[in-house]
Every structure is written in structure tokens, then in C-alpha cells.
């Protein structure tokens, strides 16, 4: 192994001998490349849920508890309204299951809704009409609402109490509601980048602590009123220390919290990492022994071929997440909602089959759009030389713009803006390639957009179709300023270890698995293999992918290149060996587990 690829400072072997005897060279070097202090390593490798932060550090959490308990005690009508993506659906279902039990015990009314494919983001006109027609006493919005100042104030004027659970950027003015958002300037919560599914889990955890607090304060008086209590007196550490069942029951919520975390591209560091690490174990239990509140999810996982003995972060990001997300993309969000909330095995079977079918339809739509983008760039090849890849054609199909944008990022190694016509207007997705902040880009052209939002790595927007040509011109014109301080990516310099082909083994893969879960902020470790001979090429699918053997590597490890087989074959025809950069990952299919070296770059 090439020690020149190590971070600067003392040799790794010296550091291991003096400080971390339990780590191998590659494990130690991976930790160094994360730029963590050594004091943070134990937390990084830990899975102790008790290390996560108190929900009572979130802003407006006490007020939210007060309003929720008041609504429950007074048997009011509670409306949950979530966004249509995986995080929105997951966070909505977590709260819905909690409230369903409470309403069954206490009475009252619960309504659960999500936005549909025809709705713009947030509290748009159609969503507002639905809310006012239902006329709830308490509205809880999930994964949107932070930026809807006027709309929330209008609902408050109508006598509707509003709680917003959201993690999007904070505007200058906060509406008349309880805004539980860790990005607020007055937030004491240490983590700013957590998804709404985690906020739902945290709210449920806080509500369970509040239940204990109320019982401890309860008197024999007929006039005892829990609403009169000061919930800010709750001692979180004392309660969870004396009531271990609160934390243990919270672990059951981490499956959906994890899926929201990964699909919304939250960094898998700090408590996000602990949540997902435990969430993978929760998924294993759901598949294996089941859970009465996860009948639908278990049916979906079983039909998707997931294993109970081992769930990886890629299973959440590439199997569960996309299937749940497909419902919203294909205009059938209610199917995902019904699956996660059903308590009937027959409904679970039907909804899971419907969702898998929707996901297949989503994949076919994605294929058709990719084919059309290929033809588009064949006609106008100079469009691929711009600093921002921009693509819009009237015959593109809606619902999969984010997926197509991500695939174009992989191909062109540049940020992408991809639009499709959708119900009389156009909707677009923006994806970053490296460290670019796409929300900053959208802010530069915000006056042209009807709605926009998202995260630094991924954003979405809607625009009038007639404004698209001008949008393209504006985006290209602001690209230089936007990218001014963004460092260029050289994938060959990102590898943490340089290997000879014979060092590509199952043992190496096993050494790296201690760093699961992998994802945003904690990527699969990039490895470089120098001078690899290539043989046994096998082209896959429509010939765009290729699988191959590396003779000196372990026979059980196969190399694979996705979406660039022709370039790979062309370079291979001119050279006897190649330098490869890629990642090792496990592939489970039809009951067989293999390890493959997924090549991202070759030369």
C-alpha cells in the first residue's frame, strides 16, 4: 500500500502503535481523512442512542407539546399535512401512528394528508384550499411551512393553531406558529442539518417525556389540568434515566427516521450517523420478527428482497427510499401513506405491490427521459461545455427530474439544471457536483421562479414555460460568480489508499464495513488500483454498463463500470493495463451476495 497517500504528519504505523492498536492501517487512514479530532472517533464509531441530543433543545418544542396535549385532551381535530417526498411521507407517518393511538384512547379526530404531484411546494393554493375545507383545530405541517409566512398567518387568523416541523432555510420573518426548526437563529440544538423525519421522532420522544412529567405532577384533585403545567421544567436526562422504555421504544422509530435522513442527503456524522446506524438494526427487526405498526413496511421490504440478517445504508438509499419516493413522483403519494399506516396484512400486500409497480414505472420514465436527453445533447453538443448543464425539452416526462439531473451530474461531472413540463408550467431540479450550493444559485434567479427550495446539494423549483429560455441565459451568465470559490474536484486525488491489484480482497472490504453507514458526509472510501489488467468483459443491459475481472485481485471481486462502458472499452483497447479509481460495495441479488469494485474513473 502506498504510504504517500496518507495525510501529513507522523506515519500511520507509528500512530497506530501509540494510540489506536485496534485499527488497521486503512481504517486509521479513513478516520484521518474525515478530518475529525481523535477525541471524536469514539462518537463516530459509536451506536449508543443515548449520545443523541435532547429534543428539548429544539426551538418552540415546549409550545408544540403544550398545543398538542391541549388538542388531545380537548378532543380537537388534528390535521397532519406532509410533503410528498420520502422525508415528508416518513415524518408524517411517524406522527400519524403516534396520534392514532392517542386519538383511539382519548377521542377526537385525526386527518392525515400529503401534498400531491399537482401541488407546488409548501402551502400553495391547492393545499390551502384543502386545509380550509377540512377546518382543523390544530395543523401540523411536516417538511414545509417555514417559508409560508403569509399563508400561516392567514390560517392563524382563521383560528387554526399551526405547528411547523421543518428543516429548510429560515426566512427573515417567522410566521405566527410554533416553528420547530433547528436552523432558527435562536435554536440551541447542536445539529442544524437533520431531516423532518428525525424532527418527528424527536417530537414523539419529547411527548413521551411529557407524559411521564404529567403523571409525576398529577394530583388527586378533580380540577387537575395538565395544560396548566410548565413543560419547560421537564428534566430530560432524569426521565430517560428512570424510564428506559422511552429510549427503547424510540428505537422503533428509527427505521423511518433513517430513510428520511439518507434520502434527504443529510450528513451521516454526529447524531445522524447514530440514528441511521440504529435504524439499520430496526429495519432488520422489522423484516425478521416484524412490528405491529410496520405491517406495510415489512411487506414492502420482503417483496424488495431485503435481508433481515444485514441491512446496509445503500439498501435504504437505493431500495426503500426510491420506492417510497416513487409514489410522490408518479402522483400517487397516498399509496405510500396507506402502506406505512395500514394495520391489515391484505392491504399491506396490495399497497407494496402497487408501490413496486409504481417504482418500475418510474424507472421506465427515467429511461425514456435519459434517452431524450441523449438525443438533445447530440443535436446541441455545445450545451455540454457550459459550466452548468441545462436541459429542457417539451416532450420530457414529469416526476423524475431529480433522478435524471443526478444521472447527468454523474455523466458530465458538472452541476445540472433539468426541467420538464408539468400541468401547464415547468418544474426543475438542480443537483450539485461537488461543493456548490444550489440554493445560492436559485437565489440568484429567484425573481424568475414561482417557487423554489431544497438543500445545498439538491433543489427544486417551478417556473412559467415561457420564461425558460431567459432562465437558461441567466443561469449561464451567473455561473462564474456562483462557482467562484468552489474548488474543482480531482477524483484521482481523493483516494485514501493506493492498492496493487492483489490487495483488492474481501478482507479489505470487511475492514471498511465498520464505517457503515456510508452516505453524505461519510462517503464510501475511494480506492485507487494501479496497473490493473482487465479481462472477461461482459456488457450489461443495453451495453452502457460493463462487468469485468481483475486477474490478480480476489476471484470473488468483480469490477463494474456504470453508464460508461464504451469509453472504458475504448481506452482498454489502447492499453494493456489501466489505473482504476472506485469503491468496494456489497451486492445482494436473488439470495447471492457478491462484492464488486465500482469504478468511477479509469485511465
The pLDDT score that the predictor gives to residue 277 is 95
As given in the structure block, the three cell numbers for residue 18 are: 501509540
The residue among 171 and 279 whose pLDDT is bigger is 279
Q: Residue 16: what pLDDT?
A: 39
CA distance 156 to 148: 12
The pLDDT of residue 485 is 77
Q: What is the DSSP letter of 187?
A: -
Position 223 scores a pLDDT of 76
Residues near 182 by Cβ (< 8 Å), separated by ≥ 6? 58, 59, 167, 189, 191, 192, 193, 194, 199
Retrieve residue 118's grid coordinates.
Answer: 399537482
Buried b (16+ CB within 10 A) or exposed e, 1-25: eeeebbeeeeebeebbeeeeeebbb
Q: Is the pLDDT of residue 498 over 70?
A: yes
Per residue in 461-490, is it b (16+ CB within 10 Å) or e — as a string?
bbbeeebbeebbeebeeebeebbeeeeeee
Structure confidence at residue 489 (pLDDT) = 65
Q: With 60 as the cut, is the pLDDT of residue 5 above it?
A: no
Better pLDDT: 206 or 562: 206
Residues 487-502, mean pLDDT to the nearest whole number = 72
Out of 149-158, 217-226, 341-350, 567-576, which region has the weakest mean confidence (pLDDT)? 217-226
Report the candidate in 455, 453, 419 with the shortest Cα–Cα distance to residue 437: 455
Q: Are strands 161-165 and 535-540 parallel, antiparallel or unpaired?
A: unpaired
Look up residue 489 and give its DSSP letter.
Answer: P
Tell me the average pLDDT across 113-128: 85
**Among 203, 197, 309, CA closest to 262:** 197
**C-alpha closest to that of 64 among 149, 156, 163, 143:** 163
pLDDT one-digit tens code per residue, 49-71: 989 999 999 999 999 999 999 99
Q: What is the mean pLDDT of the chain?
A: 90
Distance CA 496, CA 498 (A): 7
Identify the band that residue 242 occupies on the pLDDT scale cut at 50, 70 and 90.
very high
| Highest mean predicted confidence (pLDDT) among 254-263, 309-318, 378-387 | 254-263
Q: What is the mean pLDDT of residues 578-583?
A: 94
Sign of the alpha-carbon torsion through 106, 108, 114, 116: positive
519: region left, alpha or beta (phi > 0 left; psi from -120 to 50 alpha): left
Residue 9 predicted with pLDDT over 80: no
Would you call 342 exposed, middle or buried from its count of C-beta atoms within 10 A (0-12, 13-18, 19+)?
buried
**Res. 3: pLDDT tops 50:** no
The backbone torsions φ and ψ at residue 572, rounded to the nearest 5 degrees and listed phi first, read: -65, -35
Give the residue-averaged pLDDT of 494-502: 80
Please state the φ and ψ torsions of residue 543, each to the nearest 5 degrees.
95, 0
Residues with Cβ < 8 Å from 355, sequence gap 6 or more? 300, 323, 324, 326, 327, 335, 336, 339
Q: What is the mean pLDDT of residues 496-514?
A: 89
- Top-confidence range, 23-32, 293-302, 533-542: 293-302
Mean pLDDT of 192-198: 96
Distances in whole angstroms, Cα of residue 75 to Cα of each of 113, 200, 231, 401: 19, 21, 20, 42
CA dist., res. 60 & res. 43, Å (int) = 28
pLDDT of 415 strictly over 60? yes
pLDDT at 437 over 50: yes
**Helical spans, DSSP H, in 2-124:** 12-18, 25-33, 41-45, 61-73, 86-106
Q: How far is CA 406 from CA 19, 403, 410, 498, in A?
A: 41, 5, 6, 28
- The stretch 7-18 carries a mean pLDDT of 38
**pLDDT for the residue numbered 486:** 77
pLDDT band at 21 (very low <50, low <70, confident <90, very high): low
Buried b (16+ CB within 10 A) or exposed e, 72-99: bbeebbbbbbbbbbbbbbbbbbbbbbbb
Percent of the chain with pLDDT over 90: 70
Q: pTM here?
A: 0.90
Q: Give 529-559 pLDDT, tens digit per residue.
A: 999 999 999 999 888 899 999 999 998 899 9
Of 332, 379, 339, 186, nearest to 259 by C-alpha is 339
For range 466-486, the mean pLDDT: 92
Task: Look at residue 493 in the predicted model and tell me its pLDDT.
Answer: 56
pLDDT at 555: 86
Tell me what pLDDT residue 7 has.
32
Ordered domains of the chain (ranges, CATH): 55-220+231-279 (3.90.1640.30), 367-482 (3.10.310.30), 491-602 (2.40.50.460)
Amino acid at each position: 500500500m502506498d504510504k504517500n497517500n496518507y495525510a501529513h504528519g507522523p506515519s500511520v504505523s507509528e500512530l497506530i502503535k501509540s494510540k489506536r492498536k485496534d485499527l488497521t492501517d486503512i481504517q486509521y487512514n479513513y478516520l484521518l481523512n474525515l478530518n475529525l479530532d481523535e477525541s471524536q472517533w469514539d462518537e463516530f464509531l459509536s451506536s449508543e442512542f443515548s449520545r443523541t441530543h435532547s429534543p428539548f433543545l429544539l426551538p418552540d418544542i415546549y409550545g408544540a407539546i403544550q398545543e398538542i396535549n391541549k388538542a388531545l385532551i380537548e378532543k380537537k381535530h388534528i390535521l397532519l399535512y406532509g410533503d410528498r417526498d420520502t422525508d415528508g411521507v416518513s415524518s408524517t407517518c411517524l406522527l400519524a401512528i403516534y396520534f392514532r393511538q392517542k386519538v383511539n384512547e382519548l377521542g377526537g379526530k385525526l386527518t392525515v394528508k400529503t401534498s400531491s404531484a399537482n401541488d407546488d411546494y409548501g402551502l400553495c393554493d391547492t393545499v390551502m384550499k384543502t386545509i380550509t375545507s377540512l377546518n382543523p383545530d390544530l395543523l401540523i405541517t411536516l417538511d414545509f411551512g417555514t417559508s409560508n409566512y403569509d399563508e400561516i398567518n392567514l390560517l392563524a387568523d382563521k383560528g387554526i393553531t399551526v405547528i411547523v416541523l421543518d428543516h429548510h432555510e429560515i426566512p427573515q420573518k417567522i410566521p405566527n406558529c410554533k416553528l420547530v426548526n433547528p436552523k432558527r437563529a435562536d435554536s440551541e440544538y447542536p445539529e442544524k442539518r437533520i431531516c423532518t423525519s428525525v424532527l418527528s421522532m424527536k417530537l414523539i420522544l419529547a411527548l413521551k417525556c411529557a407524559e411521564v412529567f404529567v403523571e409525576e405532577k398529577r394530583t388527586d384533585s378533580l380540577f387537575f389540568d395538565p395544560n396548566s403545567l410548565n413543560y419547560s421544567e421537564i428534566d430530560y436526562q432524569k426521565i430517560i434515566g428512570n424510564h428506559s422504555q422511552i429510549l427503547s421504544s424510540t428505537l422503533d422509530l428509527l427505521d423511518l427516521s433513517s430513510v428520511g435522513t439518507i434520502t434527504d442527503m443529510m450528513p451521516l456524522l454526529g447524531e445522524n450517523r447514530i440514528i441511521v446506524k440504529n435504524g439499520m438494526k430496526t429495519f432488520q427487526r422489522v423484516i425478521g420478527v416484524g412490528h405491529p405498526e410496520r405491517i406495510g413496511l415489512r411487506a414492502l421490504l420482503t417483496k424488495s428482497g431485503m435481508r433481515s440478517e444485514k441491512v446496509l445504508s445503500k439498501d435504504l438509499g437505493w431500495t426503500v427510499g426510491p420506492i417510497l419516493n416513487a409514489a410522490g413522483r408518479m402522483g400517487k403519494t397516498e399509496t405510500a401513506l396507506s402502506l406505512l399506516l395500514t394495520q391489515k396484512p391484505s392491504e399491506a400486500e396490495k399497497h407494496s405491490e402497487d408501490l413496486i409497480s409504481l417504482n418500475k414505472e418510474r424507472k421506465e420514465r427515467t429511461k425514456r427521459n435519459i434517452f431524450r436527453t441523449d438525443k438533445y445533447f447530440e443535436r446541441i453538443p455545445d450545451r455540454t461545455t457550459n459550466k452548468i448543464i441545462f436541459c429542457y425539452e417539451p416532450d420530457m416526462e414529469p416526476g423524475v427530474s431529480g433522478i435524471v439531473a443526478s444521472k447527468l451530474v454523474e455523466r458530465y461531472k458538472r452541476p445540472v439544471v433539468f426541467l420538464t413540463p408539468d400541468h401547464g408550467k415547468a418544474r426543475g431540479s438542480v443537483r450539485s457536483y461537488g461543493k456548490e450550493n444550489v440554493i445560492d444559485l436559485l437565489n440568484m434567479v429567484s425573481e424568475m421562479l414561482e417557487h423554489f427550495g431544497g438543500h445545498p446539494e439538491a433543489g427544486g423549483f417551478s417556473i412559467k414555460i415561457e420564461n425558460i429560455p431567459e432562465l437558461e441565459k441567466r443561469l449561464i451568465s451567473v455561473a462564474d460568480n456562483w462557482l467562484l470559490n468552489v474548488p474543482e474536484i480531482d477524483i484521482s486525488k481523493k483516494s485514501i489508499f493506493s492498492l496493487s491489484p492483489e490487495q483488492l480482497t474481501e478482507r479489505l472490504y470487511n475492514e471498511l464495513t465498520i464505517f457503515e453507514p456510508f452516505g453524505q458526509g461519510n462517503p464510501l472510501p475511494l480506492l485507487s488500483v494501479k496497473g490493473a489488467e482487465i479481462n472477461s468483459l461482459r456488457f450489461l443491459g443495453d451495453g452502457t454498463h460493463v462487468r469485468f475481472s481483475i486477474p490478480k485481485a480476489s476471484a470473488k471481486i468483480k469490477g463494474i463500470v456504470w453508464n460508461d462502458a464504451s469509453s472504458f472499452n475504448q481506452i482498454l483497447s489502447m492499453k494493456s493495463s489501466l489505473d482504476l479509481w472506485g469503491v468496494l460495495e456489497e451486492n445482494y441479488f436473488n439470495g447471492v451476495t457478491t462484492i464488486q469494485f465500482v469504478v468511477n474513473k479509469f485511465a
